[in-house]
Structure formats: structure tokens, C-alpha cells
Amino acid sequence: MEKIQIKDLTTDYVIAVLKEAHPLFKDDLLSLHLTRSKSAFGESVPDSGKYANDNGRSKDLTLNYLRHNSRNELFDIILENNTVDYDNYGGEFLSRTRDLWMRYDRNDNSKISQATDILDIDELKYVLLNWKNTFRIAYSFTDSPIENCIRLQAVISAPYLVDDVDVVLGKYFPNLDLVVELLRESYAETKIDNIRNVANFIEANKDEFRENTLAYLKAIDYQTLDGTRIDICDIEIDPSLVNLDVSVSKNNNLTHEEYEDPIMSEFVLIRLQQVQRSLENLLNHKLVSKYTPYADRVGVEVTPDLIFSYASYSYFAQASELKYDYTSQKLLTYLNARLRASKAKTREREILKTFKEQMSPIVERIKEIYTDVRPYVQPRSRYCISEELQSEIMKDFDTGRHDHTQAVIDKLANAISETRALCEAYNDEYRRMLDAIAEDL
């Protein structure tokens, strides 16, 4: 088994090891996928394990938290059947029968309706499509025989697979004959050829569908799959940063969100980064007072009446997403909650109070930076950027150049750089503070 440094632990690395380490993936019985979501910048990005793939200074410390916690936040890998094509069998059976119901007989008590209800079974989608994404890779840390290392194991998590398969084998496949019978009875009553054709299609493919599904379930050994552990690697931890003998999870109600980013920097940084990204994209457009002929302007020219109207969300991420609106109270949310929960005249209370006093200059400087750039980054409302930012951009419409836009970008870049450094310094000290409290527990 390979020994790696924490900086090399990424979701891509884990997937590569899994594909070589276990027959399920090596033989292509199951495929490994990453879920996707919309980022704060309006882009579709993979949920590829932000804690495993984080390159920040806290990576060793983050892993120290995760090894003591059962939450599956290290990487987000979804498992999918790569053997039986649901769409060509069960999905097609349901689609064709539902189409019959829509076209010929919407009576809920009809034979076509009864056939549709039999085919429309969620458990089949859970088993073959991993519908709702419950079939996934979790993780576990164990002691490593190598000094200053911990061992990472992938754990196949399929908590509902056995129950879902029982429903599929006990209710779905045995009733496919009944579906064919119901459709043929409906054809006998209506003489509609499409109904007979669907019955014949299901009759011709149902046995092959069942055999393929059974072969797949046997190959993955579905009854014992949940909880299967696969050794991934030994991870070297920097002993100067992490004391492997101290469990930070001893701190009461410690969540990963608090441990990873106790100052809640996203509520300071993301809004600035959204505006910076939007303005950088605007540099790629030609600023004009009115459009030239359509063929010459597509994807190139923008006018004030477009980007400052209801369509502004297409150009400015901060105008379409208000969830990252800044409030200074968020900076000390976790610290103040711990202070309120601590008991008077205890060492924990003294550590927390001392920490708050020591971090006060950092917090105040973050507030000052945000106050300076807030006129540019805080939208007036959804779909409307701030008046100050609009005024700067309008100056560039007057000249046709991007001088004022670039000046705002530079100002934001400086603010982001300094704020990020301050947030990282606060977060590092916060985690050391938690270690100090944990040592007394």
C-alpha cells in the first residue's frame, strides 16, 4: 500500500486507487461518479470532496478532525450500476405503458393504469440507477503501523440495497407476466395495435432483463456489499501541526463547518470573488451605447440597457444569488456560541475569552476592508448591482475602454488577498485553541 502526503490526497487519487484495488471497479461492474452542483459563480462544478481537494494550510488539521468524525465529507463519490441498462428495459417498459395511458385511457382503474402502477416502482430505480444517490463511497480511518501516519479506507455504503433488491425480486419481476396479461386484455377490448405492440415488447424482453439483473446482483454480491472496506493508502501527517494523540472531537458540538472555517470566511470572500469574476468576464465584451447589426455583436457587444436591466444576473453573479450577503456578526458566530455555552470560572472560558481578545485586531481589519469595498459588491436588490459599481462601469461605456472596470478589479483583488490571509490566520489560531481545550477534556 502506498504512503502519500496529505497534499496528494484528492478525490481523483481515491478513484484511481479504487479502480485498481477492487474487482467491482476493475471489472467495470460499478462505475464511480461525482455529483455536480451550481457554484457561487453560477457554474456547474463537480462535488469532488472539497475537504480532500482543499489545498489550503489547514489540510493536515482538517484530516485530524475527519479521522475522529463519522460524517462522510472527505469525498463525494457515487456508485452506479455499469452492467444493466435500466433505460433499455425497465425504463422503456414504463415509458411505453405510460404513453398508452396518456393517449388512450386515463381512467385510474383501467387495465393500462394497473400495468403502469406495477412498472412504476422506485426500488428498481434505486437498484439500477442509484436514484437519490444513496449508494456511495464513505470512508474510515484506522491506525497505521507506520509512524506519524493514519490509514485511509474506502467503505462501500449501500444501506438500503438489500431491502430494495428484495422488493425488485419479490414484486417487480414476478408481476411482469401480469403486466403483459393486462395489456393484452386491454387490446382485446379496444383493438388498438399500439397496446398489443407494447405487450409484445415487454414479453420479448422481460426474461432477458431479469437474467441480466440477477447476474449483476450476483456479481456485486449485493447481500454483503454494504460495509465492504477497501484500503486506499497510508497518509503522512505533519507532527508539528497535528498531535495524533489529541482528539479535537472532544470539543462539545464541534461540526466540520466550525473546524474548517470558524470565521465563516465565505460570507466575506465569496461576494468579493463573485464581483471580481463578473468584472473580469466583462473585460471580454465590447462596451457600446447601442448595438451594431446582429451578426457583428453576438456574444461580443453589451449595452447599458442590457446589463443594468432584468438581464443583469447573466453578467453579475452577485445580482442573482443573495445567499452570500455579508454581515459582520457572522465572523464570530462559532466563537460567541462557545463562549455562551462555556461554564463560568473554567479554563475553557478563560481560553475562549483570551482568544477573542487576541483575535480582535484581525476581526476589526476584516471589517474595515469589507467596509471599503462594500459600495461595489453589495447589490441593491436581486437583479440590480450597486449604484457605485454601475457608475464606474458607465464611465467605461462613455469611453469604450475598461479603465474604471479594471481599477475596481484591482481594488477587489487586493481586498481578497488581504482578507484571505487574515481569515486563514484566524482559522489556524482557532483550531489551536480547540486543541488546547481538548487537551483538558
pLDDT in tens, 356-397: 999 999 999 999 999 999 999 887 776 678 889 999 999 999
- CA distance linking residue 66 with residue 6, whole number of Å: 13
Q: How far is CA 211 from CA 162, 165, 208, 218, in A?
A: 18, 14, 5, 11
pLDDT of amino acid 295: 42
- CA distance linking residue 287 with residue 306, whole number of Å: 11
Query: What 8-state DSSP symbol labels residue 381?
Result: B
More confident residue, 169 or 43: 169
For residue 150, give the H/E element and its range.
Answer: strand 149-157
- Are 109 and 75 in contact, with CB atoms under 8 Å apart? no
Q: Which of 120, 80, 64, 68 is nearest to 96 (CA)?
A: 120
Percent pLDDT > 90 in the chain is: 48
| Cell numbers given for 195 | 397496446
pLDDT tier at 43 (50, 70, 90 boundaries)? low
pLDDT of amino acid 12: 84
Q: Which of 430, 378, 440, 331 is nearest to 58 (CA)?
A: 430
pLDDT of amino acid 320: 53
Q: What is the mean pLDDT of the chain?
A: 84
pLDDT of amino acid 56: 47
Residue 54 pLDDT > 60: no
- Compute the 3-state secondary structure of the chain and give helix, strand, coil in percent, each to the nearest 5: 60, 10, 30
- The sign of the CA dihedral 298, 302, 303, 304 is positive
pLDDT of amino acid 259: 80
- CA distance linking residue 241 with residue 61, whole number of Å: 7
Strand partners, 141: 152
For residue 393, give the H/E element and its range.
Answer: helix 387-399
Q: What would the DSSP string read from start to end of 65-123? A: HHTT-----S--EEEEE-SS-TTTTHHHHHHHHHHHHHHH---TTSHHHHHHHHH--HH
Q: How far is CA 356 from CA 176, 361, 362, 371, in A?
A: 67, 10, 10, 21
pLDDT in tens, 60-70: 555 655 655 55
Q: In terms of residues, how long is the chain? A: 441
Strand partners, 150: 143, 235
Q: What would the DSSP string read from start to end of 27-73? A: TTSEEEEE-EEE-TTS-EEE---HHHH--STTHHHHHHHHTT-----
Question: Could you tell me where the DSSP H helices lie in 120-255?
Answer: 122-129, 161-167, 176-190, 193-219
Q: Which of 77, 70, 81 is nearest to 161 (CA)?
A: 81
